[in-house]
Amino acid sequence: MRILLVEDHVELSRWLAKALRDAHLTVECAGNGADADSLLLTQDYALVILDLTLPKMDGLEVLKRLRARGNKTPVLILTARSGLNDRVNGLNLGADDYLAKPFELAELEARVKALLRRTQGNEAVTIRCGALSFDTVSRMFTYCDAALALTPREHAVLEVLLTRAGQTVAKEKLFQQVFSLDDNASVDAIEIYIHRLRKKLETAAPGRVAITTLRGLGYLLQSAP
């Protein structure tokens, strides 16, 4: 899942981005409101983590513009402005959650995971496709009751496919969800990770869950009948 982190404090932004990437999330960062607004005009994200006190454009204005365009991407406000009026204004403008600084990383991660579950239209803690399951709290995959060892990029690809199990996911859409704008990669890189995932699934339990290529359409994750 690709997240936009909007935070002007450089060290905090780096720390948060690393923590979220360690949780197998793809993170893009914006250091001011104008850049965030521009990215939200052209890119799709599963979640936005938004500071309020930003250079060039206030966070509340970024949120206001986002909702005015009809964009329903979940927004978690993360700010030192913890006054009641700020919380009310943010929620009234369409924020989905609000966390005041200073905060505990464990609480932020829990809130992020909860919002992502809602984004995927699935409040369940565990998502399944046949013998393959994904725990949205621990963010770990199991296959035939055994942990499935994946690289961060393999994890991201499989998560997108599993949350859309039974549906065809276009290669371009998969690429957008897995790679950030800062990554030096082409859309064809997805084929490499699909190949690696197929090999790991087949090695662990042949024929139980498969990733099918539909030429010209994309990829389909499905369990054996």
Which tens digits make up the pLDDT trace of 37-78? Answer: 999 998 888 899 999 889 999 999 999 999 999 998 999 998
Would you say domain 126-223 falls under CATH 1.10.10.10?
Answer: yes
Distances (CA, A) of 159 to 50, 181, 219: 24, 19, 13
Q: What CATH homologous superfamily does 2-119 map to?
A: Response regulator (3.40.50.2300)
Q: What is the per-residue pLDDT across 129-169, written as a single tens digit (0 to 9) for each?
A: 889 998 877 788 999 888 898 988 899 889 889 888 888 99
Read off the pTM. Answer: 0.67
Each domain of the chain, given as residue ranges in start order, spans 2-119, 126-223
Give yes or no for a contact between 45 and 178, defined as CB atoms under 8 angstroms apart: no
> Do 126-223 and 2-119 fall under one CATH topology?
no
Element (H, E) at 116: helix 105-119
The tokens of 212 are what? 């099918």
Whether the pLDDT of residue 122 is over 60: the answer is no
- First-to-final CA distance of the chain: 28
